[in-house]
Structure 1
């Protein structure tokens, strides 16, 4: 069975717990710790899980919020649907099969 893993990014929740509701509030706090990001970069950092995160940024966020990396990033298992084989050996799909239509094949006259 294949395990699919994902992360849960808790930055927005942790910011709210410390009364930081504006993403722009993080810009000067990060700058104090030597991490210089634009307002747009900080917004993306807060709004969605980052694909890449520098260790300096991670350390600064942990210091600002008084948390550990485990508080900020949770690894979670994503439940994947596995198609079960039918009696004929084919895998059943979640979409219904298209309706069947009977057709009649007629030979042209004279053949």
Structure 2
């Protein structure tokens, strides 16, 4: 932002509004200062346009660790699947 002459988060708000992104002052502050949990593509593209940069300059991609998928009925050791509920015995009521 500083290389573009923006030294305050409030400088960014009207530029985002010009591109159709309506964010409150606190949302813009959190977007700049903190690490956002989620970011819309429209906001990302607007930021790239405002700052004249690429996505790689703003975001560092991190791969998530994927869990291995197991086939149905696969034998797992020490899992909840080893414990089965006891069979219930249903007794009818004697209505007279």
Q: TM-score, normalised by structure 1?
A: 0.54
Correspondence 1:1-111 to 2 at 5 A: 15-75=1-61
**Structure 2: 5+ residue stretches without partners:** 63-96
Deviation at 1:73, TM superposition (A): 1.1
Q: Supply the RMSD in Å over aligned alpha carbons.
A: 1.5
Deviation at 1:16, TM superposition (A): 1.2
- Higher-helix-fraction structure: 2
- Higher-strand-fraction structure: 1
Secondary structure of the equivalent of 1:26? helix
- Which whole-Å CA distance do the structure 2 matches of 1:45 and 1:60 have between them? 13
Secondary structure of the equivalent of 1:20? coil
4+ runs deviating over 6 angstroms: none
Q: What is the aligned length? A: 63
**Structure 1: 5+ residue stretches without partners:** 1-14, 77-111
Deviation at 1:37, TM superposition (A): 0.2
Q: TM-score, normalised by structure 2?
A: 0.62
